[in-house]
Structure 1
Amino acid sequence: MFFVANSNFKTNNSYWYILKQTLQFIFFAISIFLCVRFLYIVVNEDAIYSRTFLKLVTNVHTSKQALSLPRRGNLFCFVMTSRKHHKDRVLAINQTFLRRCEYGIFYTDTDDLEEDIPYSSIFKSHTEEGNADFWKSLVALKHSYDNISSQYDWYNFINEDSFVLVENLKHFLKDFNPKIPHFFMFTVKPLMKSRYGSAKPNFVLSNEAMRLFSTKLFGNDTLCSYNLDSSIGIENCFKNAGVKTRNYGNSENHHDLGLSFDVQQSFNDKHNGLLRSAFINHSKQITNRFSQQLISLHHISASQMLTIELLLYHIQVSP
């Protein structure tokens, strides 16, 4: 009788031991799963945010002026902006170089602009959580090609503090085939050390490059992953897709000079006064750096855009 009871006790004890070990294992496995999931969310926060962000293009309003523009042509230009620049930069760009593109449009976050300004509120549903420039750039590229037109030869991404000489850009592009994937970035290298050396570059994509972006890169967190610097991030996306990227900066042998500083401030001693001292000393070193086929200027205010427009297109110097 004792042996039977002892045997039953051992059996029950083994049962509870196995149950305890099983529960501990399950608890341990769940803990590991939750930890791994937490780490995945932390490490891949940008990827998760991107999938959410890229789905938020809703309730888009497109102005009458934008709807009246041609759906095919040579150059499609778009400018990313926001409501805080509706009364200065947007008005200045609209009155100057944007109209020289066959299709020129602003992408913004509200629909309170006048209908005679070409705009689309594709960022209306987007929050400003975190640094969203990279994701907004992807949305702008996708919207341009898929929702507006896939029939343009070239697509020009323009920063809202830039002035583009469209005629020179078209002259530059005429030697390239838009049916081949091209990515041209017009970098900004300062001629002097100042805060103006951090301007974001503009870039131009061929029709084939845009097709690859739309079909292969958009929403692909592996090939097109987040980068805090949106320009570098976009360039890396196309590199990962096998597109050869050309980065044009200040060069004496190219007509693709991008200026990264405010020319007026460059004459001021507060910003090293490099241009100011050079002109006072009759130096040719600085003026030789300005190509006659200049394509873009950067860190330009609204008033400076209008001034440049006046000097280049409305004043004729008598011989």
Structure 2
Amino acid sequence: MAATFERLDQVALLALVTVAALNYQIFTYQRKFLMPAELYTYFPAMIHQKFFPPTRSIGKLTPGIVHSASALELPSTGQLFCFVETSAVHYDDRVPSIASTWLPKCDNGRFFTKTPLPNSNMTYSTVYLNLKDSYYDLFRKTTFGFYYSYMHISKSFDWYLKADDDTYFAMDHLKEYLSTLDPTKPLYLGYVLKPYFKNGYNSGGSGYILSNAAVKLFVEKLYHDEYTCPYDWAEDRGMGRCMARAGIFPTDTRDDKGLNRFMPFKPSELAGVGPEWHYYPMEAGQYASQKFVSLHRLPQDMMISLDDILHPKLGKRVYNPKFVKLD
């Protein structure tokens, strides 16, 4: 009987490998999207070596990374470390918008890029130098981003924030909220999406934050473990899976009225987002907290305008997007 079950396991594994091979051969362009996640549970090391470059190797990812002089002058301790994932196509619009609004309000805030920013006065680190500038590499960008932040920049921040380059953070609201939480507990903060996992996972678009305890556990226990923390083409879902398998589930970040602090969807998009996506049901007309923390897919001119409203005494901005006149 045991031999029979063993043969069945071998047949099941062979079937999964065959599907993966067909995806690789027939759908070359989309092979990372089509790769069945279950295959990693069986033999992730083999699959990673055969179908994906071994980009989790710290020895292959760290050589050549440079930091702007302004980034090297930032504090190495404090409440909040922020990294914004960006690429060269947005150096003239999204990057200056963020650089002149919320990023400098982090205790240590910088852009993680593949190439140096054109303005050497901006705070950046070329953490993604040895990664592909591809949507399908977002998972590895994010996981390596957290690893590098903690291991190579500083272990001394209370919170570590990952953001996209089209997301705005109301930093005063965020810091006020974080002051009510304990960073020595493994906390995983963001907007909780419902699909795929019993306890949900945090949307990457609205940004998510790991406490010092959570990022320490991720770096030491999850980053190198491809069984527990396998590749996923969807970066936020992949992070959610990794955290859940370590017993860390999304925190309820709503305010005392049940309204959301983190917002991955614009109000105009909500009608097209079904209830199956919201872990916490939303009532009609109720979405954003007055103490909102983040807004996703915010146009750059609107980001500037909103920041002017929240900080009317800020004065003239250092970096202006080319298409925004702030004279």
Q: Return the TM-score normalized by structure 2.
A: 0.70
Partner residue in 2 for 1:91: 96
Q: 1:116 is matched by which residue type in structure 2?
A: N
When residues 248 and 50 of structure 1 are mapped into structure 2, their CA distance, relative to the original with a 3 A threshold, is farther
Q: What is the CA distance between 1:170 and its match in structure 2?
A: 1.4
Partner residue in 1 for 2:160: 155
Any residues of structure 2 matched to 1:116-131 within 5 Å, and which?
A: 116-128=121-133, 131=136
Q: 2:55 is matched by which residue type in structure 1?
A: F
Deviations 1:9-34 (A, max 9, x none): xxxxxxxxxxxxxxxxxxxxxxx9xx
Q: 1:310 is matched by which residue type in structure 2?
A: D
Q: 1:52 is matched by which residue type in structure 2?
A: P
When residues 108 and 46 of structure 1 are mapped into structure 2, their CA distance, relative to the original with a 3 A threshold, is farther
Secondary structure, counterpart of 2:232 in structure 1: coil
| Alpha-carbon distance in structure 2 between the residues aligned to 1:173 and 1:205 | 11
Partner residue in 2 for 1:312: 310
- Report % sequence identity: 26
When residues 69 and 305 of structure 1 are mapped into structure 2, their CA distance, relative to the original with a 3 A threshold, is same
Partner residue in 1 for 2:54: 52
Deviations 1:39-68 (A, max 9, x none): 598445763366611233221110011100
Q: Is contact 2:204–2:235 with CA below 8 Å preserved after alignment?
A: no
Q: Is contact 2:204–2:236 with CA below 8 Å preserved after alignment?
A: no
Partner residue in 1 for 2:291: 293
When residues 65 and 232 of structure 1 are mapped into structure 2, their CA distance, relative to the original with a 3 A threshold, is same
When residues 87 and 229 of structure 1 are mapped into structure 2, their CA distance, relative to the original with a 3 A threshold, is same
Partner residue in 2 for 1:258: 263
Q: 1:291 is matched by which residue type in structure 2?
A: S
| Alpha-carbon distance in structure 1 between the residues aligned to 2:262 and 2:205 | 14
Any residues of structure 2 matched to 1:1-319 within 5 Å, and which?
A: 42=21, 43=39, 44=44, 47-48=48-49, 52-55=54-57, 56-57=60-61, 58-128=63-133, 131-187=136-192, 200-246=205-251, 248=253, 252-254=257-259, 256-258=261-263, 260-261=265-266, 266=268, 286=285, 289-314=287-312
When residues 159 and 128 of structure 1 are mapped into structure 2, their CA distance, relative to the original with a 3 A threshold, is closer
Q: Is contact 1:188–1:201 with CA below 8 Å preserved after alignment?
A: no
Q: What is the CA distance between 1:112 and its match in structure 2?
A: 3.9
When residues 53 and 291 of structure 1 are mapped into structure 2, their CA distance, relative to the original with a 3 A threshold, is same
When residues 308 and 71 of structure 1 are mapped into structure 2, their CA distance, relative to the original with a 3 A threshold, is same
When residues 290 and 315 of structure 1 are mapped into structure 2, their CA distance, relative to the original with a 3 A threshold, is farther
When residues 129 and 106 of structure 1 are mapped into structure 2, their CA distance, relative to the original with a 3 A threshold, is closer
Unmatched tracts of structure 2, length 5 or more: 1-10, 22-38, 195-202, 273-283, 315-327
Q: 2:124 is matched by which residue type in structure 1?
A: Y
Deviations 1:108-154 (A, max 9, x none): 11024322111011112222467111111111010100000000001
| Alpha-carbon distance in structure 2 between the residues aligned to 1:200 and 1:247 | 17
Secondary structure, counterpart of 2:136 in structure 1: coil
Partner residue in 2 for 1:16: none
What's the RMSD between the two structures over aligned residues?
A: 3.2
The structure with the largest alpha-carbon Rg is 1
When residues 155 and 130 of structure 1 are mapped into structure 2, their CA distance, relative to the original with a 3 A threshold, is closer
Q: Is contact 1:188–1:200 with CA below 8 Å preserved after alignment?
A: no
Secondary structure, counterpart of 2:190 in structure 1: strand
Q: 1:98 is matched by which residue type in structure 2?
A: L
When residues 163 and 46 of structure 1 are mapped into structure 2, their CA distance, relative to the original with a 3 A threshold, is farther
